[in-house]
């Protein structure tokens, strides 16, 4: 998790952009980071293909620049302590934002984008896997802010990525002064999203299977995080459930879910592990995806 570079907030003019902007500004304020408001633009496809009307690139650039300037004014009014700049870039959203992510500590994108009826837009899905820095996929709006004191949630499975996610989640929880819930789930069902499948309840954190080394390891992670972050309330939830399903269920009561880009089940070359991918697509809350910087090549 990088500590240098700005927080890049991707805006696309959709209604959801307002919530994405507010979430990104609040996160940048917590981190004490600079902010870059970014928007990519391209010539309208029908005009490019048919060339019925002349279209000057400068006009589109000016329109985007005006939009970003308006959002910059809003940002500085709400967070006068932040340094906020803007970037209007011609090109596809995924390649433009991925390029900007190379020098950033965090890329903030809306989950839905312009296709507001979709739970997960293709832009957010691509960037969650291909960004060169950590990515926050923002969900919700003013009507669905989490209750005060809602926890940050993360999952641990013993992988390096999950342990890094636990460290990052502890920092996020400490910055927000909220509890941290560390989830360790043992798979017990083949289709956690099957019809009529009831959600499995958590085992009590004190109900540790002493014969299960993963239970002991999860408890050890919780103990270490409490030591490293004095005053932070750390809860360890031991579940018999599919890991992705457990995190999605926990996200319903969370302010943020933090996942690593790859877990134990991800094979070399896989940019986003199956658990992280499921959580990004289905979580009820904003999801922070950590990247380890090991995939700097072009996306497939």
Domains contained in the chain, number: 2
Asked if residues 37 and 9 have their Cβ atoms less than 8 Å apart, the reply is: yes
CATH number of the structural domain spanning residue 109: 3.40.50.12370
Kindly state the tokens that stand for 175.
């910055």
Asked if residues 96 and 132 have their Cβ atoms less than 8 Å apart, the reply is: no
Asked whether residue 294 is domain-assigned, the answer is no
Domain boundary at 144, 173, 205, which?
A: 144
Sequence length of the chain is 300
Q: What is the pLDDT of residue 192?
A: 52
The mean pLDDT of 217-243, rounded to a whole number, is 94
Kindly state whether residues 223 and 133 are assigned to the same domain.
no
**Cα–Cα distance for residue pair 222/168, rounded to 1 Å:** 13
Kindly state the tokens that stand for 212.
């299960």
What percentage of residues in the chain have a pLDDT greater than 70? 75
Q: What pLDDT, in 10s, does the model give residues 1-34?
A: 667 899 999 999 888 899 999 999 999 999 999 9
Kindly state whether residues 22 and 91 are assigned to the same domain.
yes
Beta strands in the chain (DSSP E): 7-10, 35-41, 84-90, 106-110, 134-138, 152-155, 180-186, 202-203, 234-240, 256-260, 287-290
CATH number of the structural domain spanning residue 265: 3.40.50.620
Provide the whole-model pTM. Answer: 0.85
Kindly state whether residues 136 and 181 are assigned to the same domain.
no
Kindly state whether residues 111 and 14 are assigned to the same domain.
yes
Asked whether residue 2 is domain-assigned, the answer is no
> 162 is in which domain, residue-wise?
152-286
Asked whether residue 39 is domain-assigned, the answer is yes
Asked whether residue 293 is domain-assigned, the answer is no
Asked whether residue 37 is domain-assigned, the answer is yes
Q: What pLDDT, in 10s, does the model give residues 80-94?
A: 999 999 999 988 999
The mean pLDDT of 51-67, rounded to a whole number, is 70
Asked whether residue 41 is domain-assigned, the answer is yes
Kindly state whether residues 98 and 166 are assigned to the same domain.
no
Domain boundary at 144, 172, 200, which?
A: 144
**Cα–Cα distance for residue pair 128/72, rounded to 1 Å:** 25
Kindly state whether residues 192 and 111 are assigned to the same domain.
no
Q: What pLDDT, in 10s, does the model give residues 148-184?
A: 899 999 999 888 888 999 999 999 999 999 999 999 9
Top-confidence residue, 201 or 211: 211
Kindly state whether residues 135 and 159 are assigned to the same domain.
no
């Amino acid at each position: 998790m990088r500590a240098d570079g700005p927080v890049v907030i991707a805006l696309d003019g959709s209604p959801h952009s307002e919530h994405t902007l507010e979430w990104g500004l609040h996160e940048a304020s917590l981190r004490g980071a600079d902010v870059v408001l970014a928007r990519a633009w391209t010539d309208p496809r029908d005009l490019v293909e048919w060339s019925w009307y002349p279209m000057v690139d400068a006009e589109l650039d000016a329109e985007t620049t005006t939009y970003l300037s308006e959002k910059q004014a809003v940002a500085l009014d709400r967070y006068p302590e932040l340094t906020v700049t803007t970037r209007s870039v011609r090109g596809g959203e995924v390649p433009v934002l991925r390029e900007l992510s190379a020098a950033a500590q965090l890329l903030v994108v809306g989950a839905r984008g312009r296709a507001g009826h979709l739970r997960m837009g293709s832009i957010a899905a691509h960037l969650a896997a291909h960004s060169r820095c950590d990515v926050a996929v923002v969900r919700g709006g003013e009507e669905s802010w989490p209750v005060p004191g809602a926890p940050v949630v993360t999952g641990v499975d013993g992988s390096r990525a999950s342990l890094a996610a636990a460290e990052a989640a502890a920092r996020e929880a400490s910055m927000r002064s909220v509890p941290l819930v560390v989830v360790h789930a043992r798979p017990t069902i083949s289709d956690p999203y099957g019809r009529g499948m009831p959600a499995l309840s958590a085992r009590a954190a004190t109900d540790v299977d002493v014969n299960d080394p993963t239970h002991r390891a999860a408890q050890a992670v919780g103990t270490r995080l409490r030591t490293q972050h004095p005053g932070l309330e750390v809860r360890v939830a031991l579940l018999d459930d599919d890991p992705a399903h457990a995190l999605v269920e926990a996200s319903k009561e969370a302010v943020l879910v933090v996942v690593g880009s790859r877990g134990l089940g991800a094979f070399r070359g896989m940019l986003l592990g199956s658990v992280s991918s499921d959580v990004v697509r289905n979580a009820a809350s904003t999801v922070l995806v950590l990247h380890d910087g090991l995939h700097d090549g072009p996306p497939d």
